[in-house]
Structure formats: C-alpha cells, structure tokens
Amino acid sequence: MSLHHPTVAIVGATGAVGSELMTCLESRDFPLERLRLFASGRSAGRKLLFRGQGIAVEELNEDGFPGVDIALFSAGGAVSRRFAPIAVRQGTVVVDNSSAFRMEPGVPLVVPEVNPDAITRHIGIVANPNCVAIVAVVPLWPLHRHTRIRRVIAATYQAASGAGAAAMEELRASTAAYLRGAEYQHRVLAHPYAFNLFSHDTRVDPTSGYNEEETKVMRELRKIMDEPELRIGVTCVRVPVLRAHSIALTVEFERPIAPEQAREVLTCAPGVRIVDDAAENHFPMPIEASGQDDVLVGRIRRDASDPSGCSLALFVAGDQLLKGAALNAVQIAERLVA
C-alpha cells in the first residue's frame, strides 16, 4: 500500500495515548493531508491543537470513516471490535492499539524494528502489540538475530500510564492524599496505589496461574518474533510510576554469549539506547525513559545461575505511551505511506 498525504483519523483522541498520537504525528512531520479526531459523545465539539490549529473532536459513529485513509485506534477493545471492521469496509486501514485483533491469524502484529515486512500482509487491520511486548522485543530481537534465544524470563515494573489517564491521575491524587495523611478511596485500580505495588490486576487463569497481561505478553512475543515455541515466563507488576515501563529480563541463548558481545549488538540496534554505567550505578530508569523514543537498556551481565555462559540478565525501560503505544502506531502508519 502506498498513500501520499492521506487523511488520518485518531479514534480515542482525548485519551492519554490519543494525545501522544497527535504529538507523534506532529513531531515526526507525518505527511497527512487532514487529521480527524473521534471520541465519545461527551467530548464532541472540544477542540484540540494540532500544527497550530484547533481541530474539533467528532463523535464516533458508524458513518464517520468514508474518506479516511488510515485510522489510529486507541479507545479500548470494545470500541475496536465494533468500529474497526466498519472502518475497513469503508476503505480505511486501521492501526489498532487494543488487544482485540492481535492474535487473529490474518492480522499482522508489528514492531517496525522487528517485523516491518508483516505490514504488507494486512487485510485492513494492523495490530499494535502490548506495551510490555514492544518494550521487551526491541532489545530482544537484535540479540535473537545474533545468537538465537531459547528462553526468556521477565518481571515487569509497569507504570500508571498503562492503565490510562485516569490511573495516572489516581496515582497523583492518592500520593498527595497519602502525604497529607488523608484518606483516599481508589476507584480506577483494584488496590491502593500510592507507595504500593501489586500484581497486574487482570483476571488470573485458574489453570495456568498467569494473569491476562502476562498471557498477552507471552503470546505476542512469540507472534512478533515468529517463534511459536519460544519458552517465556512473565510476572507483571504495577508500580507507582507515572509513565514508562521497566522490565528485568533473563535471557537464555542457544550458544554462550558474553555481555560485551550483547552490548556491541545493542549499541547498533534501532530503537535502543545503552544506559549501562556501572561506575556511577546509572542504569535505565523510567524517569529518564519518559518522553524518549528509544528503549533504554543496561545492567547487561552474565546470569550467575547459568554456569554454561549461555544466559544474560539485563534491565530495560521504555515509555509506555510512546514506543509502547503511540510511537509504534505512527511508525506503522509511516510504513503504510512509504
């Protein structure tokens, strides 16, 4: 597909990711002819600034997509399941940020640094992966190409941004209340958030013991990397950080690999920035990853539990709202118009 100066729509324009989508389109000088903004009826008429002009938000409805070439969806799975097929039937290519279509056999699940060619196989919908899967796979993929990965163990430190703007505000408000010694009734997340962390509050499968977030990450990594038998274990934890997810990764390879080799590979990898200063104890932090396009990678070291030398441990951090969501979607759209 090749489009020149397309009409682009953002579905869910008033949300946290919707705002970042607008910022990414503007900062990357995306070659669009017109931008349309869709949200729920309560936001209709509100104006959002883009390239110095106010654009009125339209109420999302089934007749809104004729003339739209690319629609960037970020309004949740229920909205995507209802409206994305309608948009496709009206001639729109959908880049969907929800989990609605990620594991559908005919829908490419794309991280442009990893599998950009998959975009050409779309039949109307291209899926944006889970934010943790994106942040993890950007450094895992170049290592996998250098020395094949056999197994990945991950523990996540997931920010409020992963649960949306309301969760970010709940973290701010509950922290302020805690510091005042005041009571705060949490409403967005399942547990008190200020000065606390808890297992990602998605449903736990009683058979496997893994929650839905963990299962998504494992399945999506296998699909993105085209490694259906890759052994993966994940523990997902929500931490009181506003934005940018961090992940501790232990990676087992088919052959021995030295930390110096991994560092050299990652230094040249697209979308990666090495932050690995042992002398200053300076490694990836969410506060430094926030607002950055790259995934920060550090703590690159041998896994002391594997005497074979085939395993490494590393720590990564990436902005969930950018590379973990909006930026990745815009990069996909850039490939659509290339």
Active site residues: 131, 245
| Distances in whole angstroms, Cα of residue 283 to Cα of each of 9, 13, 63, 262, 301 | 38, 34, 49, 16, 12
Residue whose entry in the numeric block shows the structure tokens 């690159």: 300
Joined together, the tokens standing for residue 181 give 């010694």
Cα 13-15-21 angle, rounded to 5 deg? 55
Residue whose entry in the numeric block shows the structure tokens 């259906």: 228
Residue whose entry in the numeric block shows the structure tokens 């729509």: 9
Joined together, the tokens standing for residue 329 give 């979607």
Joined together, the tokens standing for residue 301 give 């070291």
The closest alpha carbon to 292, from 266, 246, 323, belongs to 323
- The sheet carrying 149-157 orders its strands as 231-235, 149-157, 245-253, 311-318, 295-302, 272-274
Encoded amino acid at 223, one letter: K
